[in-house]
Amino acid sequence: MNLVKTPRDSEPDDVLETSMATVASALSEPSRVSILCALMDGRAWTATELSVVAGIAASTASGHLNRLLSNGLIICLTQGRHRYYSLAGHHIAGLLENLMGVSMGTPKAPVSSTPVCLRYARTCYDHLAGELAVSIYEFMLHENWLAADGSELTLAGKRHVEKMGVVLNSRTRRKFCCPCLDWSERRFHLGGDAGSALFTLFLQKEWVTRTQGYREVNVTDSGRVAIYRLFKLKIT
């Protein structure tokens, strides 16, 4: 017996497909992509700042921001007379990071002009990304601090990171620990709440500093010493 789909049966799929196409359309404009990439640093930006980053007029930026808002990709925060925009959450950051990876893997993609310093260490929303983050992740795997699939910290891993001073949140609603595909390295770095907590420690200890307005992360002299001591990674 053949089952025939009625219009009502197919409606949920149609709604999902239409929603996916709408989100994809919102991501199809280069200026909007520039805005989203800027927001990947995890901070809130004003419309004026985002218009400068995207290289467009403030009025044009306003229209793009409304489009991104209506599709749930960003949120708007009001503080006094000022309005600030940020990504709608970690899931949007993950979507963008995966999209970057797919784009870099396209055979016809142009040669990347991303600065070497950005490739070495940068933010991926609220955690560390780039060559340094990938090397730390691989060290943690090698030392059995992480499960083989990167989905959780082992008991030894929890003990080591807590000894460093990392504050883990066992009640987090997001993934506690997960591998995040690094778009420039094509390998994984540490994501989830554990990745965020590790990066927070790096900032608090001033082992790394952030470049205002950019995703670039710089390793300090004390950071070089600490990272070598903790992860056996020599930074020149």
Strand-pairing partners, residue 83, are 78
pLDDT at 4 over 80: no
Domain ranges of the chain: 7-88, 105-231
Distance from chain centroid for Cα 101: 12
Distance CA 142, CA 166 (A): 20
Q: Between 12 and 201, where is the model more confident?
A: 201
Output the CA torsion sign for 214, 135, 103, 115: positive
DSSP-derived letter for residue 142 is H
The 3-state DSSP class for residue 82 equals: strand
Neighbours of 164 (CB within 10 A): 14
**Mean pLDDT, residues 62-68:** 93
Distance CA 200, CA 140 (A): 18
CA-closest candidate to residue 128, choices 191, 188, 173: 191
Please, how many CA atoms are within 13 Å of residue 112, restricted to the half-sphere of its CB? 15
pLDDT at 5 over 60: no
Distance CA 7, CA 10 (A): 5
How high is the pLDDT of residue 90?
82
7-88, CATH topology level? Arc Repressor Mutant, subunit A (1.10.10)
Output the CA torsion sign for 116, 122, 124, 125: negative
pLDDT digits (tens, 9 = 90+) for 205-218: 999 998 776 788 99
What DSSP string runs through 4-54? ---HHHHHHHHHHHHHHHHHHHHTSSHHHHHHHHHGGGSS-B-HHHHHHHH
Angle at Cα 40 formed by Cα 59 and Cα 67, nearest 5°?
35
What DSSP string runs through 84-127? EEEES-HHHHHHHHHHHHHHHT-TTPPPP---HHHHHSEEETTE
pLDDT digits (tens, 9 = 90+) for 24-54: 899 989 999 989 988 887 778 889 889 988 8
Q: Mean pLDDT over all residues of the chain?
A: 85
How high is the pLDDT of residue 98?
81
pLDDT digits (tens, 9 = 90+) for 80-135: 788 889 998 888 888 888 887 777 665 444 444 556 667 899 998 889 999 999 99
Angle at Cα 69 formed by Cα 83 and Cα 18, nearest 5°?
180
